Chains A and B, each alone.
Chain A
Amino acid sequence: MARADGENGTRLRGPSAEARDRTVAITGACTYLGTELIKLLEADPRYQRVLALDIRRPDLPPDLIKTEHHPVDLTVPTVGSQLAGLLRGVDTVVHGAFLSFPTHAASWAHELEDVGTMHVLDACAQVAPARLLLLSTTMVYGPSRGNPNWLSERAPLRGLPQSRYVTDKVRAEVQVARHADEHPETAVAVLRFAPLLGPTVSNYVTRFFSRPIAPVMMGHDPLLQFVHESDAVQALKRALDRDVSGPFNIVGEGVLPYSTVLALMGRVPLPMPHFVARRLYRALWATQIAATPPPFLDFLRYLCVADGSRAERELAFRPRYDIQRAIHDFLGLTAEDEPDIARAQG
């Protein structure tokens, strides 16, 4: 299937006739985005077949007709040829096999995310699917002193060099960008999601904000950004429906200072200097009490906010949840539960 749009993707197309009978393969089908995407594709008549690739069967209703699950372990060295066999006849590959929690098993995570991406790309190079979607995060921009308030898709991927979790994701992006250069027959789109927040998704952010007490780096109060879980899935579906290529920031509407986020969530801030927090978090991380390693404290010091206007322009994606509603939903509150705070914003 050839790309109908110009290279800059300036024109939007509605669901077109040629988009019928698509076959989609999803790696990391057990992740939140993978599972929810399968449910959407199952309901969409334009998609004929869905391959759910993961080490175990995703948690899906039993009555799915289009979806077939194939056990695929991206950490196996020979998985490339297995994938190449599976991907035959597949026109769209969604690569989302990334961990939603930083893990202590850093070398296994490296095998899965960095080397696993290599295996997927090797298979794609052989099969040459029409489209490839990478599910990345805005973390790849990295929290940095030098960041502007709104990072566009052209911003450098500074990552977080001390964190292998972020570095693996940056490396996956670099590999995919190189693949896009070398294989122009495949339209490659990269979706960089802001941290997902919502009532059902589970990741390091939701776990961090589920605790009653949260550390605050003394004197620092960066602006934070989230995307609601259902908005993220909608954006992913839109990117799949439309023939787009290139990177897209998928972010929710609005930003709030970290201290205001804590106040809205009713969490107690615990101010401490950065060097104390670093040591404390090293201990908490080593004892597996904290969900995040110490380098992640930089997200509480410096800005890492992405600009979603390209997704709004080219995917016509508009988040339905702004940051305040996303927080309310995460807490399980509705606006009428919080009349005073809702009034304060108006």
Chain B
Amino acid sequence: MTNGNDGNDGNDRGDEGRRRARTAPVDQLDAVPDALDPPGWGGDSPHDAIFTTPELWGGEAEVRENDYQPHVPSRFPDIESVASEVRELERRVRARLTPVFPLEVRRNPPLRSILRRYRQFAMRDRSAVIDEMGRDPVYASRFTPALDFLYRRYFRTRCQGIENIPATGRAILVANHSGALPYDALMIMRAVEREHPAARQVRPLLEDEVFHFPYLGTFLNRMGGVRACPENAEKLLAEEQLVAVFPEGIQGIGKLYRDRYRLQRFGRGGFVKLALRTGSPIIPVAVVGAEEATPMLAKITWLARVLGLPHLPVTPLFPLLGPAGLLPLPSKWLVRFGEPVDLGGEGGPADAEDRLLVARWAESIRSKVQDMIGDLLSTRGGSAFA
């Protein structure tokens, strides 16, 4: 589409006409069709669409299946939307509704000022426009200081290999999972946002047990977490975002302290299929320290089943101190991002159906993460809290 500023020259309906139209009183709406020029189209005439829309002079607009363009507000609406705009305005004026531009006739909700104050109060810590996967930037920024405190002062996190994360483009971070609560997901998000020069955001994929857990799931969703399923992951990767997966899943969270840093089975290799299908590199991530932050000494299986929880941990502080016992211990954390592994070089999307290949890749990534954990544990030295 060309810029309309040039096309305006030959337009017989100049600025004067439009100015007249804007100030036209309501009862002349039918007489002055120009009054139906709604805001948002700038100063350009909608009739310019005739030059840019092939449909209007008999041609055919062709749209291919995968030619999906994101919503870019066009300056030239096609004739159908011009007509619909006019019809909608007419309908609104007839029904005496609030039209798109100010009118004297306006619906008045009762207790307008109280309603307005209440709405401002209720909207104080949330954004009216959110990410399409549910991340609320205002809500998330409210928790940034607390998470920064956890990251820097409390866990004294050391981050290594941040340069392995690309400045742009998609990637799948594959990390080990531990702790009764998913602090590791939040700390990986913080690490990349703080340390990476591009301050990239990581979208962790949460297993159903976490995502649908009351309050916790909602909180993580507003912070940027997404329910783990292929559709969501593919959508995020298609938008060139960073996705963090914890293939150990709920098994990883339910690890006992004596099994710490021993990786569980890496699911069914869903993340490998995802990488093969979308052609995304895999970045192995090792997190050390999370196991000691909420060391799970035992699990009360029967009570967890009664309460409908995935597992009910017994830590040194929980359930002894009640909900406060869920706060983590001040262990020293190390986060390492490994070299990206590009699966696309070996095969292609068709390989995602090859179960054996997927299992081999999953095992190879798992051993990479396990090796990195071993490395970090040996560099950390004796005490987990020093």
B222→A263 contact, CB < 8 A: no
Are A331 and B231 in touch, CB under 8 angstroms? Answer: no
In the complex the two chains form, what is the Cα distance from A312 to B222 in whole Å?
Answer: 27
On whether A338 and B116 interact (CB within 8 A), knowing A263-B126, A332-B97, A344-B138, the answer reads yes
- CA of A266 to CA of B111, assembled, Å: 11
What is the distance, in angstroms, from A216's C-beta to the closest C-beta of chain B?
11
Specify the chain A residue showing the minimal Cβ separation from B129.
A345
Residues in B whose Cβ lies below 8 Å from that of A331: 109
Is B68 in contact with A313, judged by CB distance below 8 angstroms?
Answer: yes
Chain B 25-43 interface residues, beta-carbon cutoff 8 Å to A? none
Of A4-12, A100-108, A118-126, A285-293, the stretch lying at the interface with chain B is: A4-12
Check B130–A260 contact: CB distance below 8 A: yes
B120 touches A341 (CB 8 A): yes
A11 in contact with B62 (CB, 8 Å) = yes
Docked complex Cα distance between A14 and B58 (Å)? 8
Q: Mark A282-309, 1 if CB is under 8 A from B, else 0.
A: 0000000000000000000011000001
CA distance A341 to B115 in the complex (A): 13
Give the total of B residues in contact with A, Cβ under 8 Å: 61
Residues facing A in B109-148 (CB within 8 A) are: 109, 115-116, 118-120, 122-123, 126-130, 132-134, 136, 138
Closest Cβ of chain A: how far from B247's Cβ, in Å? 19
> A-B pairs with CB below 8 Å: how many?
162
Question: Is A227 an interface position by the 8 A CB rule?
Answer: no
B168 at the interface (CB under 8 A from A): no
A219 with B64: CB separation less than 8 A: no
Find chain B residues with CB under 8 A from A148 CB: 227, 229-232
Q: How far is the CA of A265 from the CA of B60 in the complex (A)?
A: 43
A332 to B119, CA, bound (A): 14
Q: Which of A84-92, A170-178, A182-190, A250-258 contacts B (4 or more CB under 8 A)?
A: A250-258
A window 215-245: CB within 8 A of B:
218-221, 223, 230, 234, 237-238, 241
A36 to B, closest residue via Cβ? B91
Q: Is the CB of A253 within 8 A of B71?
A: yes
Interface size on A, residues (CB 8 A): 64
In contact, A200 and B97 (Cβ under 8 angstroms)? yes
**B119 near A341: Cβ-Cβ < 8 Å:** yes
Given A255-B130, A332-B107, A234 and B235 contact (CB-CB distance below 8 Å): no
Shortest distance from the beta carbon of A333 to any chain B beta carbon, whole Å: 7
Taking A149-B235, A262-B122, A266-B118 as contacts, is the C-beta distance between A257 and B222 under 8 angstroms? Answer: yes
- Looking across the interface, which residue of chain A has its beta carbon closest to that of B88? A230
Query: B91 to chain A: which residues have CB within 8 Å?
Result: 36, 39, 230
What is the CB-to-nearest-CB distance from B376 to chain A, in angstroms, rounded to a whole number? 34
A82 at the interface (CB under 8 A from B): no
Contact A345-B127, Cβ < 8 Å, known A149-B226, A257-B134: yes
- Is B87 part of the binding interface, using a Cβ–Cβ cutoff of 8 Å? yes
A341 to B124, CA, bound (A): 9
Q: Contact check, B218 vs A220: say whether CB atoms are below 8 A apart.
A: yes
Given contacts A12-B62, A263-B123, A340-B120, contact A334 B102 (CB under 8 A): yes
A149 CA / B230 CA spacing, docked (Å) = 11
> Chain A residues with Cβ under 8 A from B115's Cβ?
266
- Interface pair A218/B214, CB less than 8 Å apart: yes
In order of increasing CB-CB distance, the 8 nearest A-B pairs are A219-B214, A332-B107, A263-B122, A14-B55, A148-B231, A221-B218, A345-B129, A266-B119
Q: List 11 A-B contacts (CB under 8 A).
A: A11-B62, A149-B232, A223-B134, A254-B132, A260-B128, A264-B119, A265-B119, A303-B227, A314-B63, A332-B97, A333-B98
